[in-house]
Chains A and B, each alone.
Chain A
Amino acid sequence: MNAQGWRLALNALVLIVSLLLAWEALFAVVGSQAMTSPLATFRYLAQLLATPTFWDHVEETSRAFFFALAIAILSGLAIGFLLGAHRLSGDIFEPVLVSFYSIPKITLYPIILLAFGLSLPAKIAFGAIHGVVPIAIFTMTAVRNLNPILLKTARVLRLKPGKIIVSVLLPAALPEVFTGLRLGFALTLIGTLLGEMFGSQRGLGYLLMTAIGLQNVPLIMAITLLIVLFAASVSTVLIVVDHRLHRRMP
């Protein structure tokens, strides 16, 4: 590892230690009625992870999240490429996408439940509508800002449309598209969990909702910790890849 790498690692370590200290301090202030200490939470989470029924919930959430993410990525890329390649459609729909990004999508949840029923598809749809927008917006911007020389070269070489997309457009737009995918990942996770908190009988979101009902503080803390750890670590990896991709581009 080079000097910069060590400095980043040191910064991350300082951040994690200060977050844990802040948590411990908050615990000392509010007391064990409202929250559990870091150590107790990690222990409780370890216990949970050893229970088979807990894994059923994890599996259910993972399945919903996987399908939601796949739908969000595929439709986001398709929408983004179409709107990016066709200037007028892009101008027409860009404000629509941006507005959709800023609305509290949770209010649309009843409509999705009425349309899909209380089941896996509702969760998937809810996760997907959260994730699709950033992917579409970033892909659209990436395709729009492509260097026109690239397309001209592809045309001079008489590449077929499919070939142009795969070997010219996609690699050139990749860094920006990846940023969109990173944000899409995070939002799809949030959407899926929110979906589970309401119309669902299984999954981590459902477990969190029952824990709230029962005021089961250790369970709430442990699930929250698990979700935060998962989201933060995957997103850290994605950020590193993101920076690499951006640095590689001239």
Chain B
Amino acid sequence: MKLTRSVYYRFVLIGGFVLLLELLCRSGVIDRLTMQPPTDMVRDLVLLLISGKMNAAMLKTFVNVAVASGLAVIAGIALGVALHGWHAARQVLEPLFATYYAIPIYAFYPLLIIMFGLGDVPQVLTGFMLAVVAVIVNTLNGLDRVSRVLMKTARVYRLGPIATALKVTLPSAAPYLLTGVRLAVAYAFIGVIGAEFIMSRTGIGYEISFAYNNFDNRVMYPLILLILITSIALNAALSHWERVIARRRSRS
């Protein structure tokens, strides 16, 4: 009941904010060079999507984000499982994980460009580097919380290390792994778009910065809107899934 009330207020407030923005833009308090009215942004976004001009850029960005987050999830879970078993290495790497997100990963992007050229590789790597540590940390966190009874049961059944990981520990740590996946997608998105924005030849990030440099607000604002909607929707979907799994877990 309370939740629905807060959802209702949230929509009213966001709706009110958009309406205010619309009024400020229409009345000329915010001039057209600074910002487009929201309704124009939506209309231009629909027109842009129908025209298909941005299809190549969108495909590029989304494929790169998918590759970066996919690689980060696979590598992150594998490394997390490996480190969980290798205590000494984990102790050494723990401070690195703790300070990792204080390091501006974008600062490495120029080096990646020089090493791999101005293709997809530096962008995917930037997304990957930003995402992988979140997956490792959450995998370790989940594995730490697997109950000891389950591990003992696995030993009673004489499961090997790989079978134990696949059949017992990973399913039991699923909610934490999913948190890792959600963060991986968000960080891969941030990494890839940021890299495209800094320097690249294609992708939505590039198109936004290109439109900005040409004062082309009728392309820039719809694209920004597209990125915001996509990343918020992805994040909301994944955290909904996370909640469903956590709820199922607490019931059983």
Interface residues, chain A, CB within 8 Å of chain B? 7, 11-12, 14-15, 18-19, 30, 33-35, 88, 91-93, 95-96, 98-99, 102-111, 113-115, 183, 185-186, 189-190, 193-194, 197-198, 208-209, 211-212, 215, 217, 220-221, 223-224, 227-228, 231-232, 234-236, 239
Which interface class (under 10, 10 to 19, 20 to 34, 35 or more) fits B? Answer: 35 or more
Contact (Cβ within 8 A) B227 A220: no
Contact (Cβ within 8 A) A102 B232: yes
Contact (Cβ within 8 A) A212 B113: yes
Interface residues of B in 1-20 (CB under 8 A from A): 2-3, 5-6, 9-10, 13-14
Contact (Cβ within 8 A) B110 A212: yes
Contact (Cβ within 8 A) A106 B197: yes
The CA-CA distance from A54 to B113 in the complex, in Å, is: 24
| Min distance, Cβ A63 to any Cβ of chain B, angstroms | 18
Contact (Cβ within 8 A) A224 B111: yes
Contact (Cβ within 8 A) B228 A103: yes
- By beta carbon, the residue of chain B nearest A93 is B10
- By beta carbon, the residue of chain A nearest B9 is A92
Contact (Cβ within 8 A) A91 B102: no
Q: Which residues of B have CB within 8 Å of A111?
A: 35, 224
The tally of CB-CB contacts under 8 A between chains A and B is 149
User: A102-B186, A189-B102 known; A92 and B232 CB under 8 Å?
Assistant: no
Contact (Cβ within 8 A) A228 B9: no
Q: Which residues of A have CB within 8 Å of B223?
A: 107
- By beta carbon, the residue of chain A nearest B239 is A98
Interface residues of B in 211-239 (CB under 8 A from A): 212, 220, 223-224, 227-228, 231-232, 235-236, 239
B241 at the interface (CB under 8 A from A): no
B83 at the interface (CB under 8 A from A): no
Q: Which residues of B have CB within 8 Å of A223?
A: 107
B208 at the interface (CB under 8 A from A): yes
| Min distance, Cβ B95 to any Cβ of chain A, angstroms | 6
Contact (Cβ within 8 A) B10 A236: no
The CA-CA distance from A103 to B224 in the complex, in Å, is: 11
Q: Which residues of B have CB within 8 Å of A91?
A: 2-3, 6
Contact (Cβ within 8 A) B103 A110: no
Q: Which residues of B have CB within 8 Å of A114?
A: 33-35
Contact (Cβ within 8 A) B193 A104: yes
Contact (Cβ within 8 A) A88 B114: no
| Min distance, Cβ B102 to any Cβ of chain A, angstroms | 4
Q: Which residues of B have CB within 8 Å of A15?
A: 92-93, 95-96
The CA-CA distance from A186 to B216 in the complex, in Å, is: 33
Contact (Cβ within 8 A) B34 A104: no
User: Which listed residue, A7, A12, A106, A235, touches B102 by the CB 8 Å rule?
Assistant: A235
29 A-B pairs, CB-CB below 8 angstroms? A7-B91, A12-B95, A15-B92, A15-B95, A18-B92, A19-B96, A30-B115, A34-B114, A35-B115, A88-B2, A103-B227, A103-B232, A104-B205, A107-B193, A109-B197, A110-B209, A111-B224, A114-B33, A183-B101, A185-B102, A186-B103, A190-B106, A198-B209, A217-B114, A220-B111, A224-B110, A224-B111, A227-B107, A232-B103
The CA-CA distance from A93 to B17 in the complex, in Å, is: 13
